[in-house]
Amino acid sequence: MNTAWLIPALACYALSATGFTMERAGMHSRLARWAIPMLAAGAALQTGDLLMRGIRAGNVPVTNFGQSLVFLAWLTALAGLVVIVRMRMPVIGVYVAPIVFVVLALEAATMRQAHLAMPQTLRSVWLPIHVTLALLGYALFVIAAGVSLVYLVYERRLKAKRPLMPTDERTPSLEKLDRINYRLLGWGFLMLSLAIVTGAIWADATWGHFWSWEPAQSWTLVIWFLYAGLLESRLTVGWRGRRAAALTIAVFTVLVGSFVGVSLLATGKHGGNFG
Amino acid sequence: MRESLFIFGVNHRTAPVAVRERLAYPEGEIVAALARLKEAAPTIDEVALISTCNRVEIMGVTTAPDRAQTEATDFLAGDRGVDATAFAPALYTHQARSAVRHLFRVGASLDSMVVGEPQILGQLKNAYAQAATAGTAGLVLHRAFHKAFSVAKRVRKATLIGHGSVSVSSAAVGLAAKIFDTLTDKTVLLIGAGQMAELTARNLKRLGVQSLLITSRTFDNAVALARKLDGTAVPFDNFRPYLKLADVVVGSVAAAAPVIGPEEFEGVIRERRYRPVFMIDLGVPRNFDQRLNALENVYLYDIDDLSTVVRESIGDREREAEKAEGIVDLEVDSFLKWLDGLELVPAIKDIRSSVEQLRELELERHRAWLAGLAPGERERIESMTRGLVNKLLHRILSGLRDGRAGIPDGVHAAEIARRLLSTELAIEGGALIDDDRDEDDDL
C-alpha cells in the first residue's frame, strides 16, 4: 500500500537527519549544508504520498494508528521547517528530522496490506478539520519538547560552567529557546482547543451528543488541562527557563503515553469502533 | 636570475619587548623608511616593512637573498640606531617557500601571541598599503600580500580559529550572549567600580546594554564611572532594592565576606518572576556566595570559572590552528607555482621569438619562388609554416609550464631551451648553413 512518493521521501528525511547530525558533531560537509533543503524536499514528497492515500481513502488518511502517526510526522516536519527557517533554529533539526524519519520508516516497513475502508459516518468535512487541528497541536508539542530538551542540555552545561564547545557557537541563547518554547506551547494549546471544539460539533452533528467520555476524549481533556496549567504557571508565577522546560517534557511524556495507549487499546470511535 | 622572497625580523617569541620597541617604526615613518631602505639595499627589488607591537619584519624580493639580508640588517641597525649585535640573536630568516609560508601564517594569525586574534590582518594590510605608497611593492609582493589576505579569510571561514573568548571580560560577555538573546532591554548592575568592572561594562555596552547601574563603596567612584559610561550611580548602602532589576550583576568590591548570599537572593529571584540572572564575580575574595549558582535561572561565574573558559577556548583555537596550517600549506604551493610561472615568462618570450625568427628567415630565403605562386597558394604556405611553429611551441611551452612532461625544474629547462634556440648560437655553430644544404639536396 505504499505509493511511489514514500521511498524518495524517506531518502530525503534520512539525508536530512544525517546532515543535521553531522552539523551538530561539528563536521562541515556538503550534507550538513543540505540538511534543511532535504527536510523540505522530504516533506514535499510526503505531501504527495499523503495526497495519493487521501484520494484512495476519500478523505484524510487517518483510519488507523499507523496512519495517524505518519500524518503527525508530516505535520511535525512542516512545523519544524517553519521553526527552523522562520525562527532561525536549525538546532532542532537534529531532533525533528530523525524522529520524522524513524516514524515514517517504521510505518513503511509494517504497512498493513489492506487499507482500512473508511466508514460512511467518518466521511465528513469535519474529519480533516478535526484531525488536522488535533495532530497539528501534537506536532507543535513534539517540537516544544525538542526545544525544551535542547534548553535543558544547554542550561546544564552553562550551570556546570562548561559552555564553550566549538559546536555550541550556533546554539541559540537560553532566552530565545525559552521564548520559542512558550510560543510553540501557546500555538499548540490553541490548536488542541480548536480540535476539541470541532470534534464536539462534529459528534453532535453525527451522533447527537457533544461528548461521550470515551478514553481518547478523557485523556485529551487531561492533556488540555496539563498544558493549560503549564501556560498559566508562566503567566502568573513566572515559571520559566529550566522549570518550564522540564515541565514541557513531563507533560509531553503523558501525551505520548495517552496517544499510544488509547490508540493501541482501540476503544471508542477514536480507536476505529464507530457505533 | 631567480626572483625569490625573503622575510627576516624579530617577534614576540624571539625578542623581548625591550628589543622590539627599539626596532619598531611608528606608523607615520614607515613610508619614508622604506624609501631609505630601497636606497641602502640595491639588491632588494621589492620590499615591505611590518611593524606591530609583537613583530618587526622586513619582507623583500631579491635575486641575491644573502646579500640582500646583510644590506637590510645593516640598514635596520643604522636607521634605528641599534647595535646589530643587540638584536642579531633574536633574528629569524625565512627564504623562498619558507618566507611565503611565514607571511601566510602571520596573516592567518597563526603566528600571533594569541592565536586567532583578528588585529594582525589589519596590520598586515597597513604594511602592504605603506609599501604600495612608497612604491616599493612590485608584482611579486602585490600578489604575495593579496594571497596572504585571501588565505587569512579562508582560514577564518573554514576553521574556528577566531572563536571563543581569550580574555576574562570577553569571556563574561560571550557568556551573557549565551544566556540572553539581546542585551538592549537588559539592566546591568556593577557592584564595585574598578578597572575590570569598567572593562566588562564597556564590552556589555558594545552588545547593546542601555541601562547601567553602578554602586561603589566610595560613592564618588561610582558617580565618576557612571558619568564615563552613561550610567546611574547608586549609593552602596542602598543598592539592594535594585538587585531585582538587574539581569547582569558584576561584582568587584574588596570584601572579606560575600556581598550577596543565597537566602537573600532567592527572594529577589521570585520577585523577578524567575527571569534569568547572570552574575559575574570578579572579586577576590569572591563577592557572591557560591551557592547562588544552584538557584533557579541564576548563572554565577567567578574569576576562576571565567579563566577556565578562556583557557579552554585557547586550547580549542590551537586545535583549529592545526587545520589552518594545512590550508596555509596548500596555498603556499599554489603561490609558488604562480611564481615559477612568472619566472618562465622571459624565457618563453625568447623561445617564441627565436622560433618565429627562424620561420621568417626560411620564408625570406624562398621569397623569389614564393613570388611566383598564386596568392592563394602563398597564403597556404604562410599558414602551414605558422601552424607548424605554433604546434611545436605549444607542446614545449605547456610542458614547461605545468611540469607534466616530468621536468622537475621548469625554469632551468626553459633556460636550456632558450639557449639552444637562440639565433646567435645557431649562426655561430653554422647550423643554419648546414640546414640549407640539406634542403637544397631535397629540392
Average pLDDT, chain B: 87
**Contact check, Cβ <8 Å, A163/B274:** no
Same domain assignment for residues B154 and B17: yes
Among B158, B182, B197, which residue terminates a domain?
B158
> Three cell numbers at A189?
494549546
> DSSP 3-state assignment of B301?
strand
- Percentage of chain A beyond pLDDT 70 is 88
CB of B166 closer than 8 Å to CB of B189: no
Single-letter amino acid code for the residue at A250: A
User: Does A243 contact chain B (CB < 8 Å)?
Assistant: yes
Encode pLDDT of B231-259 as tens digits.
999 999 989 999 999 999 999 998 888 99
Q: What is the pLDDT of residue B406?
A: 63
* Residue B338 maps to a domain: no
Same domain assignment for residues B8 and B43: yes
* Residue B325 maps to a domain: no
Same domain assignment for residues B78 and B187: no
User: Does A159 contact chain B (CB < 8 Å)?
Assistant: yes
What is the CB-side half-sphere exposure of residue B305 using CA atoms within 13 A? 22
- Count of CB atoms situated within 10 Å of the CB of B424: 9
Q: What is the pLDDT of residue A183?
A: 95
Crossing angle between the packed helical segments B139-158 and B119-134, to the nearest 10 degrees: 170
Question: CA B56 to CA A139: how far, in whole Å?
Answer: 62
Could you tell me which of A163, A161, A183 has the C-alpha nearest to residue A173? A163
- Judged against a pLDDT cut of 90, whether residue A99 lies above it is answered with yes
**Contact check, Cβ <8 Å, A169/B174:** no
**Contact check, Cβ <8 Å, B178/A166:** no
Mutation for A interface: B165, B167, B179, most A CBs within 10 A: B179
Rounded to the nearest angstrom, the gap between the alpha carbon of residue A243 and the centroid of all alpha carbons in its chain is 22
Same domain assignment for residues B119 and B235: no
* Residue B270 maps to a domain: yes
The CATH number given to whatever domain includes residue B184 is 3.40.50.720
Single-letter amino acid code for the residue at A150: V
Same domain assignment for residues B52 and B187: no
B314 vs B126, more confident: B126
Encode pLDDT of B342-380 as tens digits.
777 778 888 888 888 888 888 888 888 888 888 888 889
Same domain assignment for residues B149 and B210: no
The CATH number given to whatever domain includes residue B83 is 3.30.460.30
Same domain assignment for residues B183 and B149: no
- Taking CA–CA distances from B162, the nearest residue in chain A reads A166
Same domain assignment for residues B125 and B223: no
Please report where in the chains the cell 503549564 appears, as a residue: A230
Q: Which segment of A101-110, B160-169, B370-379, B413-422 scores lowest on mean pLDDT?
A: B413-422
A101 vs A25, more confident: A101
**How close A34 gets to chain B, by Cα (Å)?**
17
Among B267, B294, B310, which residue terminates a domain?
B310
Question: CA A97 to CA A37: how far, in whole Å?
Answer: 12
- Percentage of chain B beyond pLDDT 90 is 46
Q: Write the DSSP symbol of residue A240.
A: -
CB of B9 closer than 8 Å to CB of B58: yes
Structural domain boundaries enclosing B122:
4-158
- β-strand pairing of B4-11 with B92-95: antiparallel
* Residue B412 maps to a domain: yes
Query: C-alpha angle with apex A24: A22 to A25, nearest 5 degrees?
Result: 65
**Contact check, Cβ <8 Å, A240/B297:** yes
- Judged against a pLDDT cut of 80, whether residue B435 lies above it is answered with no
Residues 6+ apart with CB under 8 A from B170: B203
Same domain assignment for residues B261 and B386: no
* Residue B54 maps to a domain: yes
- Judged against a pLDDT cut of 80, whether residue B65 lies above it is answered with yes
Same domain assignment for residues B130 and B199: no
Instruction: Look at chain B and report how many structural domains it folds into.
Output: 3
What is the CB-side half-sphere exposure of residue B207 using CA atoms within 13 A? 24
Question: CA A65 to CA B344: how far, in whole Å?
Answer: 75
Question: CA B209 to CA B207: how far, in whole Å?
Answer: 6
Among B103, B130, B158, which residue terminates a domain?
B158
- Percent helix / strand / coil, chain A, rounded to 5: 80, 0, 20
> Three cell numbers at B117?
586574534
> Three cell numbers at A217?
476524549
Please report where in the chains the cell 625568447 appears, as a residue: B350
Evaluate the CA torsion angle A83, A89, A92, A97 in order and state its sign.
Answer: positive
- Read off φ and ψ for residue B231, nearest 5 degrees: -115, -170
* Residue B176 maps to a domain: yes
Same domain assignment for residues B109 and B214: no
Same domain assignment for residues B206 and B303: yes
Per the annotation, the verdict on B53 as an active-site residue is yes
